[in-house]
Amino acid sequence: MSETPRAPALQRAPARGRVGKRTRRIAWLAPALLMLPGAALFAVVVLSSAVQSLWISLHDWDGFGGMRWVGLGNYAELWRDPAFRVSLRNNLVWFGMFMLAPPLGLALALATSQPIAGFRTMRSLFYLPLVLSSVTVGVIFSWIYVPDYGLLAQIWELWGGVAPAPLSSERWVTPAIALAALWPQVAFAMVLYMAGLTTLDAEQIGAARIEGARGWSLLWHVVLPQLRPVTLVAFAIAALGSLNSFDMVSVMTKGGPYGSSSVLAWQMFEQSISSYRMGYGAAIATVILLLSSAFITLYVRRMVRP
């Protein structure tokens, strides 16, 4: 079903002049009202909670009793904390790996957009990783990595030799976990690009083809610029995912071996929930927000640029 994306002519155009002034004066009213419910809800639930947590980060608090003011004490302690550096380093690795998600998602979306029989079903199968509970995905990937009994170990043995144990390696544990989390992330990017590919301007493509553009250059010069909004969202969500990468770390290694795979979100969870140090955990959360604010500023500026 295709629709002509043309705004249908309205039955009755209001007379100009007399109405003009009134509509101009209340022209802002309708948009403001439209925004109000969403913005209000968001502000009350999310923003105020975030501000509260900023306030909590300036205190020493166990979540139950009284709060004790420590000012920037939590941040000072964080700065000296070796576990914090490990977390930061690991988040960088996650970030790097997650930046692969949009290109891979685009590749998948392109690969499955041929009008070949059965591709529609296949597209939905590529989407599967996103709907599976992250706990189960984490366990299955652990079972891929586990020495002796894991899939990786068994395949390695077919070629002779002993497989490495990624989840025991201080060096490889983080990439191994990030790979498990990348799986649903790519599926996510794929869905975004599938939507994006439907908005391509056929005329532009046709014109470019007539001028001799083919394959890669067509992709790079004509298609990708049109997909810019999708790409920005995909990268934003990938960045978001890499900073909030709690689930997989929790299920697969609990930050181990001995803290080597800790990420900021995990450390914050441990401190807030397991150690009963809500203030310190809130300080880590503020750091996450600060890091992402750099990204947010970049993103918003790109979006708002005319």
Partner 1 sequence: MSIDQPNQSAWRAGGRLSRRAFGAGAMASLTSAGAFPAPALAQNAPVTVIWAEGNPNFDVLEAIAAEFTAATGTPVSLNNMDHEAHKIAIRNYLVAGPPEITFWFAGERTRAFAARGLFSDLSDLYDREGYAGIIGPYAESVSFEDRPYGLPLGVTLWGLFYRRDVLGPGGIPLPATWDELLSYGEAARAAGLDPISMGSKELWPVHTLMTNISLRTLPLDKHLGLYRGQVAWTDPDVARVFDNLGELSRRNFFTPNHTSFDWLEAGVFLANKEAGMLHTGAFIRDAFRPEERDQLAFTAFPVFDPGVGRSEETTINSIHICANAPNQDGARDFLAFFYAPEQLGRYIAPSGALLPRNDMAQPTDPISAQMVESLATVVGTSLNFDLEANPDMTTAALPLFQEFLVNPDRQADILDRLEAARARIYG
Partner 2 sequence: MTTATAFPRPFAPGRFRARRLCALGIVLLLVLWLVPFLGIVLTSVRSIYDITSGNFWGWPRDPQMLANYREVLLGTPLGRYMLNSLLIAGVSTLGVLVLGTLCGFVLARYRFPGATLMFALFVAGNFVPYQVIMIPVRNLMVTLGLYDSMAALILFHLAFQTGFAVLFMRNFIGSLPDELFQAARAEGAGTLQTLRFVVLPLTRPALAALAILLFTFIWNDYFWAIVLTFSDGAKPVTAGLANLKGVFFSNWHLIAAATVVVAVPPVAVFLLLQRHFIGGLTMGAVKG
CB-based contact 223:206 (threshold 8 Å): no
Of residues 44 through 73, those in contact with partner 1 by CB under 8 A are 63-65
Q: Which of 172, 183, 291, 193 is nearest to 247 (CA)?
A: 183
Size of the site for partner 2 (CB under 8 A): 126
**184 token code pair:** 């649903």
Of 17, 31, 65, 71, the one binding partner 2 (CB under 8 A) is: 31
204: enclosing H helix or E strand: helix 202-210
Of 79, 85, 99, 148, the one binding partner 2 (CB under 8 A) is: 148
Of residues 239 through 258, those in contact with partner 1 by CB under 8 A are 253-258
**Concatenated DSSP letters for 86-144?**
HHHHHHHHHHHHHTTHHHHHHHHHHHTTS--TTHHHHHHHHTHHHHS-HHHHHHHHHHH
User: Residue 232 touches which of partner 1, partner 2, none (CB < 5 to 8 A by kind)?
Assistant: partner 2
The residue assigned the tokens 């203030």 is 279
User: Residue 216 touches which of partner 1, partner 2, none (CB < 5 to 8 A by kind)?
Assistant: none
Judged by CB under 8 A, does residue 251 bind partner 2? no
Q: Which is nearer to partner 2, 36 or 76 (CB)?
A: 36
Judged by CB under 8 A, does residue 132 bind partner 2? yes
Judged by CB under 8 A, does residue 2 bind partner 1? no
Of 67, 93, 100, 134, the one binding partner 2 (CB under 8 A) is: 134
Of 67, 93, 100, 218, the one binding partner 2 (CB under 8 A) is: 218
Mask 56-75, x = binds partner 2 (CB under 8 A)? x------x------------
Q: In sequence order, which residues have a C-beta less than 8 Å from that of residue 267 and are 6 or more positions away?
A: 83, 84, 87, 255, 284
Q: Which is nearer to partner 2, 75 or 127 (CB)?
A: 127
**206 token code pair:** 């046709």
Judged by CB under 8 A, does residue 7 bind partner 2? yes
Burial 68-89 (b: 16+ CB within 10 A, else e): eebeebbbeebeeeebbebbee
Judged by CB under 8 A, does residue 137 bind partner 2? yes
How far, rounded to the nearest angstrom, does the alpha carbon of residue 235 sit from its chain's CA centroid?
7
Q: Which is nearer to partner 2, 7 or 171 (CB)?
A: 7
Of 28, 114, 274, 301, the one binding partner 1 (CB under 8 A) is: 274
Torsion of CA 8, 14, 19, 21, to 10 degrees: 30
Residue 17 Rama label (left phi>0; alpha psi -120 to 50; beta) = left
Q: Which stretch binds partner 2 (CB under 8 A): 79-87, 94-102, 106-114, 160-168?
A: 106-114
Residues that bind partner 1 (CB under 8 A): 63-65, 142, 145-147, 149, 165-168, 253-259, 270-271, 273-277
